[in-house]
Chains A and B, each alone.
Chain A
Amino acid sequence: MSVVVWITEGTWPACVAAARVHAAREQEIVLLYVHDDGVAESAHGAFAGLLGRGRPRGHRPPQGWGSDPGHRIEELGEPAARRLLAEAARRLGRPAQALLAHGRTEREVVQAATGAELLVCARDGDLSRAGPHSLGPATRFVVDHAPCPVLLVWPAGPDHESPPPPPSGPGHRR
């Protein structure tokens, strides 16, 4: 049984800090990063949309005219993700398994959390307000469909103070 920590840009330090506190010593920790394949695909698409710019095969440089920028993004994405996972592992300070997945982010996270004891992720969305819209679309999907308990943490301490007052009006007593 394991604790899955969802590593994404921006929010990962809070998730790692929460895992340090809430994962028991004997629990295995999995650091999960999902490559957003849509990014490279959008670059592939933009290049494919440039009608008439094709070049004979075998004459394509790795960069520059005639090269598909989507391939370059795929090349750059892998080491960037590995760096992020390595940094997270260093910050965690205990042995952990690094898992690099590809595909639709939210579905990959839900799949990786199957059979886990806990999934740690961070709220994103508008950080200046407690809510509503406290979760981005991917996080919303993960929270809704997670097959295990979810620990949802603030990326940095909440900067709102107290929950808003309950709504007044018919049906509500003050």
Chain B
Amino acid sequence: MLVFAVVRPRGLPEAVAAVPAACLAVAVGAVPPRQAWEQTRELLPVVGFLALVLVLAHLCAEEGLFEAAGAAVARWCGGRPQRLLAGVFSVAAAVTAVLSLDATVVLLTPVVFATAARAGARARPHVYATAHLANSASLLLPVSNLTNLLAFDAGGLTFTRFAAVMALPWLAAIAVEYAAFRAFFRADLAVPAASGTPGKGPDVPLFTLVVLALTLAGFAVTSLAGLEPAWAALGGVLVLGGRALLRRRTAPRELIGAASPLFCLFVLALGIVVKGVVDHGLGTGLGRLLPDGDSLPALLGVAAVAAVLANVINNLPAVLALLPLTAPGGPGPVLAVLLGVNLGPNLTYVGSLATLLWRRILHRHDVRADLGSFTRLGLVTVPATLLVSTVALWGMLHITGT
């Protein structure tokens, strides 16, 4: 099934293989129907929350929020590529944290490229930064990454507690990335941009920005009130989506498409398949590798195992496999798993060796693009961000007594 998801023959959606694989796992008794149902019932609210955040990001893009952010960064940088990089870091970190890494990869990356081109700067550092931050800046909130949503559910943390503990590791990872990028691309960043001053650009969609801020505040309020934070996301989607529908800027069909129903189905099916694999051997094998407790060396060990596993099989199956093993140890090991699976994928530009190998096979005659620099950058930043963020996590766990 994983091979299918990576290869995607004839461009078929991954759910086409994942759903029959999940049915097979139940049919052959690898996962008893009752457990499969429980797993699905546990994952359903998580997946629903994810779908709402994806729709929210789609609505923000439709209202021109990303273009406006790009234009604001271009104006602010005033032809200085180092400032442009700082601006790109800020926007990419904020978009990833609030609207998920999917929004950064799919919706923000082209805007960053256009912004660099318009500012007359070399695009490579800025586009690479967006790709890196989609992973490194996805530590802050449960909504930033699907891996977080899965763990947030399993780790018994509230939304605000998750954010409070992860704020320092998030900042630490971004700071390490920024220092690495400044050093790695010093030649590209030293040359002042030459071409003309960027125009005024699109207006900031104020209404969208306010609704987004209120949604964010809603996450904290609902969480403190003991409600599901997904309700806040639903509120944001209803306001922005209702407005867009009334103004005929979008159609219900488009909003359903933005919720990615096939992706949601894929995650549910993946949950069952991974449960089957973990219960039949992988769990014991991984359990031997994972250190116990939440001392600093133990957390570093857990993060390292998670990063390696994410690089071998991709971070979604990795987190599904590791969560049941680490959840009994409390929030510390669970959050260390997240550091590993979220930061680890920066090692290769496609997030995992499985995907990398397949792309190599697919493009074996096409060696035009040189991505050696991306890999070298990953070799520097992944161990450094893992180390610094895990130390920060360990510190925060001690301070907050979690």
A→B interface (CB under 8 Å): 8-13, 36-43, 45-57, 59, 63-67, 69, 72-73, 76-77, 80, 84, 87, 102-104, 122, 124-128, 133, 135-137, 139, 155-156
Q: Is the CB of A49 within 8 A of B352?
A: yes
A125 CB to nearest B CB, Å: 5
B188 nearest CB neighbor, chain A only = A136
CA distance A46 to B374 in the complex (A): 12
B54 at the interface (CB under 8 A from A): yes
Q: With A45-B359, A76-B114 given, can you name 11 additional A-B contacts, CB distance below 8 Å?
A: A9-B191, A39-B127, A42-B131, A45-B131, A46-B350, A49-B350, A49-B352, A63-B107, A64-B58, A104-B370, A155-B194
Write out the residue numbers on chain A whose beta carbons fall within 8 Å of the beta carbon of B216: none
B8 at the interface (CB under 8 A from A): yes
Q: Is the CB of A73 within 8 A of B368?
A: no
Chain A CB within 10 Å — which of B120, B123, B369 has the most?
B369
A80 nearest CB neighbor, chain B only = B117
A152 CB to nearest B CB, Å: 14
Write out the residue numbers on chain B whose beta carbons fall within 8 Å of the beta carbon of A51: 5-6, 14, 314-317, 351-352, 355
Residues B301-360 near A (CB distance < 8 A): 314-317, 345, 348-352, 355, 359
Some 19 contacts from A to B, beta carbons below 8 A apart, are: A8-B122, A9-B194, A36-B123, A38-B371, A42-B371, A42-B374, A46-B351, A48-B350, A50-B102, A54-B11, A54-B13, A56-B11, A64-B58, A65-B258, A69-B106, A124-B187, A126-B187, A127-B191, A136-B187
B266 at the interface (CB under 8 A from A): yes
B134 at the interface (CB under 8 A from A): yes
B113 at the interface (CB under 8 A from A): yes
Chain B CB within 10 Å — which of A37, A45, A55, A122 has the most?
A45
Q: Mark B112-146, 1 if CB is under 8 A from A, else 0.
A: 01100110111110011001001000000000000
Q: Is the CB of A64 within 8 A of B359?
A: no
Query: Which single member of B81, B110, B117, B121 contacts A72 (CB below 8 Å)?
Result: B110
CA distance A40 to B101 in the complex (A): 18
CA distance A126 to B316 in the complex (A): 41
Q: Assuming A52-B263, A64-B106, is B351 touching A125 (CB within 8 A)?
A: no
CA distance A122 to B359 in the complex (A): 35
Q: Is the CB of A52 within 8 A of B270?
A: yes
Query: Which single member of A37, A42, A64, A137 contacts B187 (CB below 8 Å)?
Result: A137
Query: Which single member of A73, A124, A126 contacts B113 (CB below 8 Å)?
Result: A73
Q: How many inter-chain residue pairs (CB < 8 Å) link A and B?
A: 207
Interface residues of B, count at CB 8 A: 70
Query: Which single member of A9, A124, A133 contacts B193 (CB below 8 Å)?
Result: A9
B209 at the interface (CB under 8 A from A): no
Q: Assuming A10-B194, A124-B191, A127-B191, is B369 touching A41 (CB within 8 A)?
A: yes
CA distance A54 to B190 in the complex (A): 39
B86 at the interface (CB under 8 A from A): no
Write out the residue numbers on chain B whose beta carbons fall within 8 Å of the beta carbon of A45: 131, 348-351, 355, 359, 371, 374
CA distance A46 to B107 in the complex (A): 12
CA distance A84 to B54 in the complex (A): 36
CA distance A41 to B118 in the complex (A): 20
B312 CB to nearest A CB, Å: 13
Write out the residue numbers on chain B whose beta carbons fall within 8 Å of the beta carbon of A50: 101-102, 105-106, 351
Q: Is the CB of A55 within 8 A of B262?
A: yes
CA distance A83 to B185 in the complex (A): 24
CA distance A106 to B263 in the complex (A): 40
B195 at the interface (CB under 8 A from A): yes
Q: Is the CB of B54 within 8 A of A38?
A: no
CA distance A13 to B193 in the complex (A): 10
Q: Mark B196-228, 1 if CB is under 8 A from A, else 0.
A: 000000000000000000000000000000000
Q: Is the CB of A125 within 8 A of B194?
A: no
Q: Is the CB of B266 within 8 A of A52?
A: yes
Q: Is the CB of A38 within 8 A of B187?
A: no
B186 at the interface (CB under 8 A from A): yes
Write out the residue numbers on chain A whose beta carbons fall within 8 Å of the beta carbon of B370: 37-38, 104
Residues B14-41 near A (CB distance < 8 A): 14-15, 18
B253 CB to nearest A CB, Å: 11
Write out the residue numbers on chain B whose beta carbons fall within 8 Å of the beta carbon of A135: 187
B389 at the interface (CB under 8 A from A): no
Write out the residue numbers on chain B whose beta carbons fall within 8 Å of the beta carbon of A136: 187-188
B288 at the interface (CB under 8 A from A): no
Write out the residue numbers on chain B whose beta carbons fall within 8 Å of the beta carbon of A53: 102, 106, 260, 263
Q: Is the CB of A54 within 8 A of B187?
A: no
Chain A CB within 10 Å — which of B110, B193, B316, B350 has the most?
B110
Closest 5 CB pairs of A and B: A136-B187, A49-B351, A10-B191, A41-B369, A45-B349
B110 nearest CB neighbor, chain A only = A72
Q: Assuming A49-B350, A52-B270, A64-B58, is B187 touching A57 (CB within 8 A)?
A: no
Q: Is the CB of A69 within 8 A of B110?
A: yes
CA distance A42 to B105 in the complex (A): 10
